Structure 1
Amino acid sequence: MLKRLRTDFRLSIITLLGASALLGITPFAIMRFLQGNFVAGSIDTSILLSICGVMAYAWITGDTRRSGMVLAVIACSGAVAVAAVVGEVGLFWLYPCLVTAFFLVSPRIATFLNLVSIAAMTALGDVFQSDVQMWTFTATALVVSATAFAFAHRTDNQRERLEHLATIDPLTGVKNRRSMDEELNLAGAHAERSGLSYALVMLDIDHFKKVNDEYGHGVGDVVLVDLVTLIQQSTRKSDQLFRYGGEEFVLLLPGVDGAGLTAVMNNLQHIMRKKMRHPGGAISASFGVALLGPGESIESWLERADTALYEAKETGRDRVVFSDNMSAADADVSVGSPELAG
């Protein structure tokens, strides 16, 4: 529970608002019922139950975007409704709603909700004791909204930068190992639901240490960037490339198997042989390929691809080796066949 609150910002805001509603609105609902103001008490109770219901929905489904939208609308419209019923004292309920909206929905939507709420409040002429009070409320509400907008916008930018730093390899610009773990888990779940085939390719640049030692790490970095560019140009938009570590990369291929997968690997190897170069000559790579088996764990899938890559490195490099769960008929060639080594 605490882990989800730490990692999901919007869920933490929804939870905080729900807890605040329980602590802040419940006493007023009870008090208004005791005072005989059943309309205001009913509105408070409806707002409270709606917020708690949305909070429960967010926790159960994980759909914080839709929950945040509903919650922002409930909070703002509820504050206006309370002011319409109880009068001047209800104005104060709108201020926390104006701020919270920017953390529940996008700044553009929050701005729209805030302006509509402020306009609705000013339209309730009986709520204010004088025009001066009405314009004072409008001015302060707009200042609060503008301040919340600036803070939320800056926070969103900082969060996006942090997420980028946490998930993208800074040298090559492809997703890193952390992102790979998440994407492989999603692929496994999707394969189980839909039956779509997924292939995993682990590739390692041959003799990369020699390139770094003889020509420097700057040349080695250029080779890595060139490799990524070449693979991205030679694969589909639906395929995903990750930097696994050092000169090792992982390629996730959805919807390919059998002869199609063999053709993809042959084509990729041919393009690399033809176009990958460094000051000392051509660059080659070794490949280990594994299809996700029915009910197979992600760890096992990765391990089989890694084992196939190890075999490719140990049996001469510049080879494509398919995992042992792929029959010769599936791959159109036998595992580790010289046909793939060219």
Structure 2
Amino acid sequence: MLKRLKTDFRLSIITILGTSAFLGITPFAIMRFVQGNLVAGAIDTAILVTIFGGMAYAWITGDTRRSGMVLAFIACSGAVAVAATVGEVGLFWLYPCLVTTFFLVKPRIATVLNLCSIAAMMAQREVFQTQVQMWTFAATALVVSATAFAFAQRTDNQRERLEQLATIDPLTGVKNRRAMDEELILAAAHATRTGLPYALVMLDIDHFKTVNDEYGHGVGDGVLVDLVSLVQQHTRQSDQLFRYGGEEFVLLLPGVDGAGLTAVMNNLQHSLRTKLKHPGGAATVSFGVALLSAGEPVENWIERADTALYRAKEAGRDQVVFAEAKSSSSPGLLMASPG
């Protein structure tokens, strides 16, 4: 649980909002019921139930975008409703809501929501004792919103940069192994829901250590960058390339199997064979290919592709080897395509 709170910023904000709502609103709800102010107590209770429902939805589904949108709307509209019910003291509930919205939804949406909330509050003129008090409220609410906007914008930019550093390989610009693990889990779940075929390709540059030893790591890095460029040129936008480690990459191909997959791999092999170069001549690549079997764990899927790549190396390199579908009665035999 703590790990999710550390890695999911919006979920942590939703959880803080739920905890704060329980600690801050519950006593007032109880007090209003005791005092006989049933309407205000019912509003407080409805706000609490909605916030806890949104928090539970976020934790169960991981969909913090929708739950954040609902919670931002409920928090602001609830504060306006409380002010309309209890009067001037309800104004203070809007200020924390104006800040929180910027951490629950995108800044543009939060800005619109805050402006609407401030306008709705000012429309209730009976809440304010004087015109000066009303315009003072408007000015301070706008200052709070502007400050929260600037802070949230800066935080979003920093978070995006950190996420990019955590998931993008700095040399080649493709996603790294950490991002690959997440994408393969999503792909397996999507395949289970839709029946769409997914192929996993592990590719490794042949004799890459020799290139580094003879020509230097700078040249080796250039070969890696060229490989990525060529693979991206000869695959679809829906295909995803990841750097698995060193000179080894993983290519995720959705929606291809059978003869179509064979054609894709033969075309990719031919393109790399003819266009990937280093100072000593052409560089070749070995491929291990595995189609995702029904209900297969992601770890087994990767292992079958890796084993197929190993067989391609054993067969003389510059080969495409397909792993047979895994079944309870089959050991997963391998079949090599023509080089």
Same-fold call, TM > 0.5?
Answer: yes
TM-aligned CA deviation for residue 290 of structure 1: 1.2
Correspondence for 1:121: 121
**Secondary structure of 2:201's match?**
strand
Q: Bigger shift: 273-282 or 223-232?
A: 273-282
Q: 2 CA distance for matches of 1:261 and 1:101?
A: 47
**Secondary structure of 1:75's match?**
helix
Whether 1:45 aligns to 2:45 is yes
TM-aligned CA deviation for residue 268 of structure 1: 0.7
Instruction: With the length of structure 1 as denominator, give the TM-score of the two structures.
Output: 0.94
Deviations 1:208-262 (A, max 9, x none): 1111111111111111111100000001111111100010111111121121111
**Secondary structure of 2:335's match?**
coil
Correspondence for 2:281: 281
Deviations 1:41-68 (A, max 9, x none): 2221221222122222222222211111
Structure 2 residue ranges without an equivalent (≥5): 327-333
Q: 1 CA distance for matches of 2:319 and 2:54?
A: 54
Q: 1 CA distance for matches of 2:296 and 2:336?
A: 23
Which amino acid counterpart does residue 134 of structure 2 have in structure 1? M
**Secondary structure of 1:335's match?**
strand
Whether 1:4 aligns to 2:4 is yes
Q: 2 CA distance for matches of 1:17 and 1:150?
A: 20
Q: 1 CA distance for matches of 2:264 and 2:53?
A: 49
Q: 2 CA distance for matches of 1:187 and 1:21?
A: 37
Q: 2 CA distance for matches of 1:319 and 1:160?
A: 39
Whether 1:54 aligns to 2:54 is yes
Which amino acid counterpart does residue 233 of structure 2 have in structure 1? Q
Q: Bigger shift: 98-107 or 190-199?
A: 190-199
Structure 1 residue ranges without an equivalent (≥5): 327-333
Deviations 1:255-291 (A, max 9, x none): 2112111111111111111111111111111111111
Identity of aligned residues (%): 80
Q: 2 CA distance for matches of 1:255 and 1:245?
A: 26
Which amino acid counterpart does residue 206 of structure 1 have in structure 2? D
Correspondence for 2:222: 222
Q: 2 CA distance for matches of 1:52 and 1:323?
A: 48
Alignment of 1:188-337 (within 5 A): 188-325=188-325, 335-337=335-337
Which amino acid counterpart does residue 172 of structure 1 have in structure 2? T
Q: 1 CA distance for matches of 2:64 and 2:325?
A: 40
Q: 1 CA distance for matches of 2:163 and 2:319?
A: 36
Correspondence for 1:174: 174
**Secondary structure of 1:214's match?**
helix
Q: 2 CA distance for matches of 1:309 and 1:58?
A: 40
For these two proteins, the number of residue pairs brought into alignment is: 332
Q: 2 CA distance for matches of 1:318 and 1:296?
A: 28
Q: 1 CA distance for matches of 2:336 and 2:46?
A: 67
**Secondary structure of 2:138's match?**
helix
Correspondence for 2:21: 21
Q: 2 CA distance for matches of 1:241 and 1:160?
A: 20
Q: Tell whether the 8 Å contact from 2:292 to 2:325 is kept in structure 1 after alignment.
A: no
Correspondence for 2:96: 96
Q: Tell whether the 8 Å contact from 2:311 to 2:321 is kept in structure 1 after alignment.
A: yes
TM-aligned CA deviation for residue 324 of structure 1: 4.2
Correspondence for 1:87: 87
Instruction: With the length of structure 2 as denominator, give the TM-score of the two structures.
Output: 0.95
TM-aligned CA deviation for residue 153 of structure 1: 0.5
**Secondary structure of 2:274's match?**
helix
TM-aligned CA deviation for residue 147 of structure 1: 0.6
TM-aligned CA deviation for residue 293 of structure 1: 1.7
Moved over 4 A (4+): none
TM-aligned CA deviation for residue 4 of structure 1: 2.0
Q: 1 CA distance for matches of 2:315 and 2:43?
A: 75
Correspondence for 2:330: none
Deviations 1:141-188 (A, max 9, x none): 111101100111111111110110111101101110011111111111
Q: Bigger shift: 317-326 or 275-284?
A: 317-326
Q: 1 CA distance for matches of 2:34 and 2:305?
A: 69
**Secondary structure of 1:68's match?**
helix
RMSD, aligned CA = 1.4
